[in-house]
Amino acid sequence: MLLLMLRVSFFLCFLLIKLSLCADKYSRDDFPPGFVFGASSSAYQVEGAADQDGRTPSILDTYAHAGNYDGATGDVACDQYHKYKEDVQLMVDTGLEAYRFSISWSRLIPNGRGPVNPKGVQYYNNLIDELITHGIEPHVTLHHSDLPQALDDEYGGWVSRKIVKDFTTYADACFKNFGDRVLHWTTMNEPNVFILGGYDVGFLPPQRCSAPFGVNCSRGNSSTEPYMAAHYTLLAHASAARLYKKMYQDKQHGYIGINVFAYWFVPLTKTIEDELATQRAMDFYFGWVLNPLVFGDYPDVMKKIVGSRIPVFTSLESRIVKGSFDFIGLNYYNILNIKDYSSTLKMETRDFMADSAIKISPLDNGTTTFEYPITPWGLQELLEYIKENYGNPPIYIHENGQRTRRNSSLEDWGRVKFLQGHIQSLLEAIRNGSNSRGYLTWSFLDSLELLDGYESSYGLYYVDLEDPDLKRQPKLSAHWYSHFLKRKNVINFDEVLTSISNGYDIQ
């Protein structure tokens, strides 16, 4: 039924093109010189080989093995550890220009601190060399939710200042071993999400939270720890970025940045309360990370509401954090409606969610389907907002893609429509001055998803988990993306249909 509806809307748009109402003609060549297109992944979600060649568990291994994904784990995942050559060949076949992956900290430095693991160095060297040989840029994330379990056990990981030194040492090992070939470094993937999930609400590892804010909280403090974890995450980022800029950048000529998860927020009603709540949502959810980076301090509204629970930047810290990036990575999927919920501010004990005093609802208010509503204009608005409010920094879209059920059809029309719309909105934002430099869709392969294991998938390629060989198969979206990237001329739905009836680009 859903498929049918998507097909109907697909053809509807196809008809509208003829009437020039769907202005969706654009091409790869409309993007500025140097702009890159690629796809994303992260270590635990695709590598597998979880206990091979010296790797020790991360907090994601622990979380998965505790049954949080109904028994699914990343022990094998897509087995990219052993199949990286095959996967790079698929990237070549697709026409990808960049591949975003993350390094598993506990593979490179087992237990998080101490000697570097030569087998870990060898794996990432192999992957990076394979990419570069085929003309694909490696875009590397250092931390993607997979803190070494040993550091969480020892001092609580991100809630301790000790993490700053250990993270910097790990980053140093990465720059030293791979920086001659890796030109794009991202220190952290969406700190705002791993912190809220892991230290406030407790549904993500390390599942620290306190009643009444989370479920099954056995340790943690939702009133204070999210703010502490964010503070030390920012300091760890800034420390690694400073090291890179001081010791490596002149020689290696690369760039370093941080990633943040961003929704576009829209007031539920036109009341002044909901408009203010929407601004508060921007400040709490991404100003939390972006304001320190751009201005050297948390947003005023956060400091005012959270009071003594939010750590204060010393003037030295502020100076180190401010400007500590060459680019910002954004993960954008959809829009949320925001309603004022100031009554929570009257509670004596509050967590981050209560402090922000907003109530969030999906855009389509109750009629949410498994797939995201397709709202590309939210990406355009978000990019405008960042341009206007944060001095138009260089931006990489690090994640953007459609969620489907893992075992749904290879004819993923919804994902094609999603990509087509968002890439167009991105182009429009660029045409209006946004300093965007790249687009990396989430995800290259159907992966172990951090929110639900193997229930949902975002991949351009289906990975058959029943097949002992974990066979990869291109979905329609892979063909669409490939067509867009390889035929650098104008593309629209019409052409995709013709192209598909004449045979795919990926053989």
Footprint on this chain of ligand NAG (rule: CB under 6 A) = 210, 215-216, 221, 223-224, 384, 405, 407, 432-433
Give backbone dihedrals phi and psi of 97, rounded to 5 degrees, phi first.
Answer: -100, -20
Closer to ligand NAG by Cβ: residue 224 or 400 = 224
Closer to ligand NAG by Cβ: residue 93 or 384 = 384
Least CB distance to ligand NAG at residue 185 (A): 29
- Tell how strand 255-261 and strand 327-331 pair up: parallel
Closer to ligand NAG by Cβ: residue 109 or 386 = 386
- 190 classed as catalytic: yes
Closer to ligand NAG by Cβ: residue 38 or 453 = 453
Distance between CA atoms of residues 423 and 265, nearest Å: 20
Q: Which of 338, 311, 290, 320 is nearest to 192 (CA)?
A: 290
CA atoms within 13 A on the CB side of 98: 25
Name 438's bridge partners.
Answer: 36, 396
Least CB distance to ligand NAG at residue 156 (A): 13
Distance between CA atoms of residues 88 and 277, nearest Å: 45
Least CB distance to ligand NAG at residue 223 (A): 5
Closer to ligand NAG by Cβ: residue 232 or 484 = 232
Closer to ligand NAG by Cβ: residue 80 or 223 = 223
Least CB distance to ligand NAG at residue 405 (A): 6
Mapped to the 3 state alphabet, what secondary structure does 469-507 carry? CCCEEECHHHHHHHHHHHCCCCECHHHHHHHHHCCCCCC
Annotated catalytic residue within 130, 137, 225, 399: 399
Locus of tokens 């927020």: 265
Cα–Cα distances in angstroms (integers) from residue 423 to residues 18, 184, 427, 435, 445, in the given order: 21, 21, 6, 15, 19
Q: What does the DSSP assignment read for 151-217?
A: HHHHH-GGGSTHHHHHHHHHHHHHHHHHTTT--EEEEES-HHHHHIIIIIS-SSTT----TTTSSS-
Q: Which of 44, 126, 130 is nearest to 88 (CA)?
A: 130
Q: Report the first-to-last Cα separation within the chain, whole angstroms.
A: 30
- Tell how strand 404-405 and strand 456-457 pair up: antiparallel
- 466 classed as catalytic: no
Closer to ligand NAG by Cβ: residue 68 or 334 = 68
Closer to ligand NAG by Cβ: residue 125 or 407 = 407
- CB 184 within 8 Å of CB 94: no
Q: Which of 255, 146, 143, 123 is nearest to 206 (CA)?
A: 146
Least CB distance to ligand NAG at residue 383 (A): 9
Least CB distance to ligand NAG at residue 459 (A): 15
Closer to ligand NAG by Cβ: residue 216 or 498 = 216
Least CB distance to ligand NAG at residue 220 (A): 8
Continuous H helices in 219-259: 225-243, 249-252
Q: 219: which residues sit within 8 A by CB, 6+ positions away?
A: 208
Locus of tokens 């304001």: 291
Least CB distance to ligand NAG at residue 206 (A): 14
Instruction: Give the long-range contacts of residues 470-475, CB within 8 A, separation 24 or more.
Output: 470/76, 470/78, 470/79, 470/83, 472/78, 472/86, 472/87, 472/90, 472/445, 473/410, 474/90, 474/94, 474/410, 474/504, 474/506, 475/410, 475/411, 475/412, 475/415
Closer to ligand NAG by Cβ: residue 156 or 254 = 156
Give backbone dihedrals phi and psi of 136, rounded to 5 degrees, phi first.
Answer: -105, 125
Least CB distance to ligand NAG at residue 388 (A): 6
Annotated catalytic residue within 97, 130, 137, 190: 190
- Tell how strand 395-399 and strand 436-441 pair up: parallel
Catalytic positions, please? Answer: 190, 399
